[in-house]
Amino acid sequence: MPTSALRDERSATPQAPGTPSLARLVDLQQYPIDRQESDAYRHAVEQVRAQLRQDGCALLSRFIRDDVVETLRQESEALAPLAYYSDNNVNPYVTQDDPSLPEDHPVRCFQHYTNGFVAKDLIPEDAIVKTLYRDPAFQRFIADCLEEPVIYEFADPIAGLVINVMPDDTELPWHFDTNEFIVSLMTRRPHSGGEFQYAPNIRRPGEENFAAVQRILEGDHTEVESLTLNTGDLQLFKGRYSMHRVASAQGQRLCTLLGYAKTPNMMGSLEHTEKIYGRVTQAHIDAHNQHRHDNLMG
């Protein structure tokens, strides 16, 4: 298996003073991402690939070292008060209502949304999650797991790296992601609940499969998988094609989302960014009229 070539749009970004090394953060015995020519590395990659091929979701348990997990939790808890809370109703595509469609159409199914997000530009340069996000060896590992020759950091200055904050007794409703895949790191598991639930590959490029989406929205979870993540677990997920949600959690749930893309200059939509983060930048306005090649909503 050839090691992926990797280009980073911000490869010249210097590490902040005191930034911890990858070896101090990741369990390199279980995930030898620093030894990319080794058999152990290839084995770890193949295990992740097998999970992704099965249903578009891979769980890397205890990815963060056990002696770092508590620091990771404390760091995310300290940043959580900076979250912007979007208290509104959204459909699975985070788009506007379309009165021309039947009332029970998925596009017209709006769910209450009360989650908060700490935006990328509010996360310190020396934070554990930002160190991991920008590390070249980590990025190469993610690219190899996804069977991609190259991945890029999200160009979006707000949504590229965010901490999802779920207060007690809230849930993240059913939705599709803007990006084809997402990398997430659980930074605080709730006391109970908060399972990640998803419908594997429910749509594909050019085919929305509204009928299956509607069945799930109406409560038929026959095609839904459920996953519990612990603090320090890493997850790779192809959320562009698999509708997903986070079930109601008891106790605060914090999960960092690390945004990468297969193409450079990836940006969130203007409407989605305004609704979820409460603000947009000139970069979002400039990218507003760009066309998505997969012809899918959201």
- Percent of the chain at pLDDT exceeding 70: 90
Does a structural domain hold residue 288?
no
Domain range for 152: 22-282
- Whole-angstrom CA distances from 130 to 16, 21, 148, 280, 283 are 10, 12, 22, 21, 21
The span from the CA of 236 to the CA of 49, in Å, is: 10
Decide if pLDDT at 120 tops 80: yes
Residue 64 domain-assigned? Answer: yes
Residue 198's pLDDT band, with cuts at 50, 70 and 90, is: very high
Q: Looking at residue 8, what is its pLDDT?
A: 36
For residue 21, name the pLDDT band (cuts at 50, 70, 90).
confident
CA distances from 47 to 30, 185, 257, 275, 276 (A): 12, 18, 22, 37, 34
Between the alpha carbon of residue 109 and those of residues 89, 255, 268, the distances in Å are 9, 26, 22
Q: How confident is the model at residue 94 (pLDDT cuts 50, 70, 90)?
A: confident
Position 143 in a domain: yes
Residue 3, domain member (yes or no) = no
Chain-centroid distance, C-alpha 155:
15
73, part of any domain: yes
- Please tell me whether the overall predicted TM-score, pTM, comes out greater than 0.75 for this model: yes
Residue 291's pLDDT band, with cuts at 50, 70 and 90, is low
* 203-223 CB burial, b ≥16 within 10 A, e <16: beeeebbeebbbbbbeeeeee
- For residue 3, the model assigns a pLDDT of 39
233-244 confidence digits (pLDDT tens): 999 999 999 999
| pLDDT tens digits for range 35-87 | 999 999 999 999 999 999 999 999 999 999 999 999 999 999 999 999 999 77
**pLDDT bracket for residue 294 (50, 70, 90):** low
Closest CA to 115 of 194, 218, 179: 194
CA distance 192 to 194: 7
Mean pLDDT of the 276-284 span: 83
pLDDT of res. 285: 82
CATH code (residue 130): 2.60.120.620
The answer to whether residue 11 sits within a structural domain is: no
Residue 70 lies in a domain: yes
Number of compact structural domains in the chain? 1
Q: Is residue 12 part of a domain?
A: no
